[in-house]
Amino acid sequence: MPSAAGRKTRGPRVGVLSLQGDFERHRATLEALAVEAVRVTLPRDLEDLDAMILPGGESTTMLRLLEATDLVEPLADFVRSRPTLGTCAGVILLSTEATALPAPTLGVLDVAVERNAYGRQIDSFSAEVEPAVFQGPFLGVFIRAPRIRSHGAGVEVVARRAREPVGVRQGLIVGLCFHPELTHDLRFHRWFLSEVAGLALPEAVPSHAESGRGGAA
Ligand code: GLN
């Protein structure tokens, strides 16, 4: 573990759960914001992170892999107290209630979600989303997305599509039913990191500037 002094000099480090699902595009988005992306596959990877992203993927598979890697408890501890962004399957993992899952969710975001509520893979779509936390429309990419069927009073809606909530915030936790990392629009990541997580973002560098660290998922 770095010393307290060491922590001050480093830039923000954000973990991306990387058992299955969409690590690379979140990494590219974080790096476009000059933020270090850390691949999380083991409990020790959660040490010394400023925030966490739970990406899209297949929530049933992710839950099984969380159990197999002993990540359930350490990850649950992290998301209870530290800034966390869940996208698509990530929302399902964070939710208090989700349809048709083989294991309990992390249960920290007070929403009831219906998995695959728009239909099958072929029914995936892009649609304009209205953000409530910054100006202007955002292109939402919905891939076998869940729908938020209800939410608790402590949950703030941060994005809607045709009046339906598709993005929510509860304290340090944000859940987006769509995939902001699949567009080149950095606004939801930037808002999460600076406004929710309270991180001072470094000056953004061109996204190709750190090209030495590429590699397949
Ligand atoms: N259909 C997936 C699930 O239910 C979520 C899809 C996604 O993350 N894009 O877990």
pLDDT tens readout for residues 135-186: 999 999 999 999 999 999 999 999 999 999 999 999 999 999 999 999 999 9
**Would you say residue 2 has pLDDT above 70?**
no
> Which pLDDT score, from 0 to 100, does residue 10 have?
85
For ligand 1, atom 8, the nearest C-alpha belongs to: 56
- Whole-number Å distance, alpha carbon 203 to ligand 1 midpoint, is 33
For the segment(s) 4-213, the CATH number from 3.40.50.450, 3.30.390.30, 2.40.110.10, 3.40.50.880 is 3.40.50.880
Task: Write the CB contacts of 121 (distance below 8 Å, at least 6 apart in sequence).
Answer: 143, 144
Q: What is the mean pLDDT of residues 186-196?
A: 98
- pTM score: 0.90
For ligand 1, atom 2, the nearest C-alpha belongs to: 58
Instruction: Give yes or no: 181 in active site.
Output: yes
- Angle at alpha carbon of residue 44, lines to 40 and 49, rounded to 5°: 65
Instruction: Give yes or no: 177 in active site.
Output: no
CA dist 213 to 31, 81, 198, Å?
11, 30, 26
Reported as a pLDDT band with limits 50, 70 and 90, residue 204 is low
Per residue in 22-77, pLDDT (tens digit) is 899 999 999 999 999 999 999 999 999 999 999 999 999 999 999 999 999 999 99
Judge contact between 95 and 109, C-beta under 8 A. Answer: yes
> Which pLDDT score, from 0 to 100, does residue 211 have?
40
For ligand 1, atom 1, the nearest C-alpha belongs to: 144
Alpha carbons 133 and 153: distance in angstroms, whole number: 18
**Would you say residue 89 has pLDDT above 70?**
yes
Alpha carbons 178 and 160: distance in angstroms, whole number: 11
- Whole-number Å distance, alpha carbon 29 to ligand 1 midpoint, is 20
Judge contact between 131 and 159, C-beta under 8 A. Answer: yes
Ligand 1 contacts (CB < 6 A) are 56-59, 88-89, 92, 115-116, 143-144
- Whole-number Å distance, alpha carbon 8 to ligand 1 midpoint, is 37
Reported as a pLDDT band with limits 50, 70 and 90, residue 206 is low
Q: What is the mean pLDDT of residues 9-23?
A: 91
> Which pLDDT score, from 0 to 100, does residue 26 have?
97
- Whole-number Å distance, alpha carbon 181 to ligand 1 midpoint, is 15
Ligand 1 atom closest to the Cα of residue 92 is 10
**Residue 155 or 10, more confident:** 155
> Which pLDDT score, from 0 to 100, does residue 209 have?
41
Q: Any idea where the domains of the chain sit in the sequence? A: 4-213
Per residue in 116-140, pLDDT (tens digit) is 999 888 889 999 999 999 999 999 9
> Which pLDDT score, from 0 to 100, does residue 216 have?
35
137: left (phi > 0), else alpha (psi -120 to 50), else beta?
A: beta
> Which pLDDT score, from 0 to 100, does residue 202 have?
84
